[in-house]
Amino acid sequence: MKLIKFLLLGIFFGIVMTKSEVVSWFRIQEMFRFQAFHMYGVIGTAVVLGAIIVFLIKKTKLKNNEGHPIEFHDKAFSIYRYLFGGIIFGLGWALTGACPGPIFVLIGNGYVVFILVALSAILGTFTYGLIRDKLPH
């Protein structure tokens, strides 16, 4: 049942990402060239509303639909992994014009080449797991 709910949520997400053009390679280029407000508006609205949602969930100690309290975990502080990992992802984001969600949304939109992007992203994740002990975190 939980899986069906997440399937429906994913479908909604895919429609939002497509209709708002967030999955567009061109829109990502526009963002990294600071030539339009669109992407900043999308992310900014999501973060402001998200912060209010997280604040209210914590304040009201809201329970999830399974009856357990909704918990937010603080991320362990470090600089290396977030900065280096972030830079590596950013390079790939600007090249493919897609972060992980949009890769799959674009496949659904009929962009067959992104199947290759997805497979390579899974390989990249696997490679990280393989060599993570050798990386500064």
Partner 1 sequence: MIELISQPWPWYVAGAGIALVLFLANWLGGEFGVSGALGTMCSMCGAGKKVPFFNVNWRNQLWNVVFVFGALIGGFVAGTWLSSPNDIQLSAATVQDLGNLGITDFTGLAPAEVFGLDQIFTLRTLVFAILGGFLVGFGTRYAGGCTSGHAISGLSNLQLPSLIAVIGFFIGGLAMTHLLLPFFMNL
Residues 52-91 close enough to bind partner 1 by CB under 8 A = 53-54, 57, 62, 64-66, 68, 70, 72, 74-79, 81-91
Contacts to partner 1 from residues 111-130, by CB under 8 A: 111-114, 116-130
According to CB under 8 A, which one of 8, 60, 61, 134 is a site residue for partner 1? 8
Beta bridge partners of residue 63, listed in sequence order = 69
Judged by beta carbon, residue 17 or residue 61, the one nearer partner 1 is 17
- Which residue lies nearer to partner 1 by CB, 59 or 72? 72
Q: Please, what sign has the CA dihedral across residues 2, 17, 113, 127?
A: negative
To partner 1, the closest distance from the beta carbon of 78 in angstroms equals 7
Which residue has 């993570």 as its token pair?
Answer: 132
Hey, what are 40's tokens? Answer: 């900043």
Instruction: Tell me which of 3, 60, 61, 134 binds partner 1, using CB under 8 A.
Output: 3
CA dist 67 to 52, 61, 62, 80, 91, Å? Answer: 22, 11, 9, 37, 41
d(CA 10, CA 34) in angstroms, rounded, equals: 29
Closest separation in Å from C-beta 59 to partner 1: 13
User: Residues in contact with partner 1, total (CB under 8 A)?
Assistant: 113
Q: Which amino acid is at 137?
A: H
Q: How far is the CB of 61 from partner 1 (least distance, A)?
A: 13
Angstrom distance (rounded) from CA 23 to CA 105: 7
Question: Hey, which residues between 94 and 113 contact partner 1 (CB under 8 A)?
Answer: 94-101, 103-113
